Structure 1
Amino acid sequence: MSGRILTVAQQKGGSGKTTLAAHLAVSLSRRGEGAVAILDVDTQGSLGTWFETREETLGEDATGLVFRTASGWGARREAKALARDHAYVVVDTPPKTDADAKPAIDAADLVLVPIQPTPVDLWATDQTLRLAERENTPAVLVFNRVPPRAALTLEMTEAIAKHGFQALGARLGNRTAFAASMGQGRTVMETDPSGKAAAEMTALLQELATRL
C-alpha cells in the first residue's frame, strides 16, 4: 500500500510554505507511523538548504527524513516513487505558475495551502485552490503567521467560508520560534517542545490526521 502524499502549495510567495512543509514532515516522522520523505520541487531550494543544515546539526543518519528533489513533470513521478517506500511524502512546491505546481498537486492525496489572514493572501490563494479542484485533489487552507489580534483573522475566516473553501481550525501564530528553529535545521518541536509554537503544530497535526 502506498504512503500518503501531502503537497504544500501556494502561488503567493512569503506564505511560509517551506516552514510548514519542514514542520509537517518532522511532526509526521515523530509520530512513528513509518518513514517520511520530503520532496523539494521549488527551484529556490529553501527546503534543501534546511535539510543540509539539519544534517550538519544532527548528523546525516539522524535527520529522521529522506530528502529528494525534482522539477516539472518529474515531481509527480518522484512523489509516487517515494510513496511506495514511505508512509508519508511531503512536497514543497514553487510559488510560480500552474505548470510548476500542477504535477505535485496531481500526485497528492491532500494539498495544504498556507495563508496569512489578509485579503490579499486570500485573493492570491484562489488560483491554487482552483488548480487543486481541476486536478480533483482535496485541498485545505492552513492559517499561518497569524497575528495576536483576532479581528482580521475572524473576518478572513468568514470570507473563506463564504467562498466555500475549507480551512483547518488549528492555526500557526506569527512566532519567531518557527524561523529560529528553521535556521538550525530543526523545528519548534525540537527546539522548544513545551512552547506555544510546538503546541500549535501538534494541534494542527492532530486535526490533519482526522482528514487522512
Structure 2
Amino acid sequence: MAGKIYTVAQQKGGAGKTTLAAHLAIAWSEVDLRVAVVDIDPQGSLTRWFQTRQEAMDGNVGLQHVQINGWRTQREVERLAQDNDIVVIDSPPHAETEARIAVRSANLVIVPVQPSPMDMWATQPTLDLARSENVPVLLVINRVPPRAKLADDLIERIKGMGADVAQTQIGNRVQFAAALFEGRSVTESARKTRAAEEIQELAAEILKRGRR
C-alpha cells in the first residue's frame, strides 16, 4: 500500500512553508513512520536544512531526502510513496508548473497562512489550484502572534475562505527557527515547549484526517 503524499504549498513566499514541512516530517518520523521529504523549491531551503541535519547527527537523520524539479517530480514522488509511509513535498512559491505538479501528486495539500491580509489574499491562488486538481486542502494558521485582536479577526476570515482549517494553530515562536539552524525540529531540541506540542498536535491531526 502506497504512503500518503502531503504537499506543503503557498503561492506567497515567507509563509513558513519549509519550516512547517521540516517540523511535520520529523514529528511523523518520531512516531515510527517512514518519512521522505522532497524539495522542489529552487531556493533549496529544505535541502540546506537536511544537509545541516546530516552533519549534526552523523548521518542518522531519520528520514529520506530528495531534491528534484521538473517533469520527473511526480514519478519520483510516487516511487518514494511505495517505500515510505509519508512523503512531504516542499513546493515552490510563484511557480505555476512546479506547484501544479506537486499539488497533483498529493493526497492532501497543506497550506500555511499567516493571520495578515496580504497572506490571506495571496492564499486564494493556491486554493484555486488545488480545486482545479481536485485535491483536498487543509489551511494551517501559522505564526500566530500572542494576544493580537487583529489576528483573531483575520483567523475568523480565514475560516470563511471555503477550505478546511486545522484546529491546531502554530504560534509565532523563536524555537522553530532555532531548531532549523541546528538541523533539528522543536520536538527534538525544545521538547517541553508549547512549540513542540503544537507540531505534535498538528501532525496527529493530519494523520487522523488521512484515516477517514
The residue correspondences of 1:30-49 to structure 2 (distance < 5 A) are 30-32=30-32, 34-49=33-48
Q: In 2, distance between residues paired with 1:46 and 1:186?
A: 14
- Say which SS state the counterpart of residue 140 (structure 1) adopts: strand
Contact 1:41–1:71 at 8 Å: present in 2 too? yes
**Superposition pairs for residues 58-73 of structure 1, below 5 Å?**
58-60=57-59, 62-73=60-71
**What is the total number of aligned residue pairs between the two structures?**
210
Residue 203 of structure 1: CA displacement?
1.4
Calculate the aligned-residue CA RMSD, in Å: 1.0
Where 1:194 maps in the other structure, the secondary structure is coil
2:168–2:198 contact (8 Å) kept in structure 1: yes
* Distance in 1 separating the partners of 2:137 and 2:48: 27
Q: CA deviation at 1:70?
A: 1.2
Runs of 5+ unmatched residues, structure 1: none
CA deviations on 1:47-66 (whole Å, 9 max, x unpaired) are: 00000000000011x10010
Is this contact kept in 2: 1:160–1:166, CA < 8 A? no
Alpha-carbon distance, 1:117 to partner: 0.4
Distance 1:142 1:73 in 2: 28
Determine the structure 2 residue equivalent to 1:25. 25
Per-residue Cα deviation, 1:53-90 (whole angstroms, up to 9, x for no partner): 00000011x10010001112222111111001100000
Q: CA deviation at 1:108?
A: 0.3
Alignment partner, residue 148 of structure 1: 146
Task: Give me the whole-angstrom Cα distance separating, in 1, the residues matched to 2:143 and 2:7.
Answer: 19
Report the CA distance between 1:208 and its aligned residue.
1.4
Q: TM-score, normalised by structure 1?
A: 0.96
> Kindly, what percent of the aligned residue pairs are identical?
47
- Contact 2:4 / 2:87 at 8 angstroms: preserved in 1? yes
Equivalence for 1:4: 4
Q: Secondary structure at the match of 2:177?
A: helix
Unaligned runs of 5+ in 2: none
Instruction: Tell me which amino acid in the other structure corresponds to 1:118.
Output: S
Cα distance in 2, alignment partners of residues 142 and 153 from structure 1: 14
What code does the residue aligned with 2:99 have?
Answer: A
Whether 2:123 is the aligned partner of 1:90: answer no
Check the 8 A contact 1:2/1:86 in 2, yes or no.
yes
Cα distance in 2 between the residues matched to 1:156 and 1:87:
35
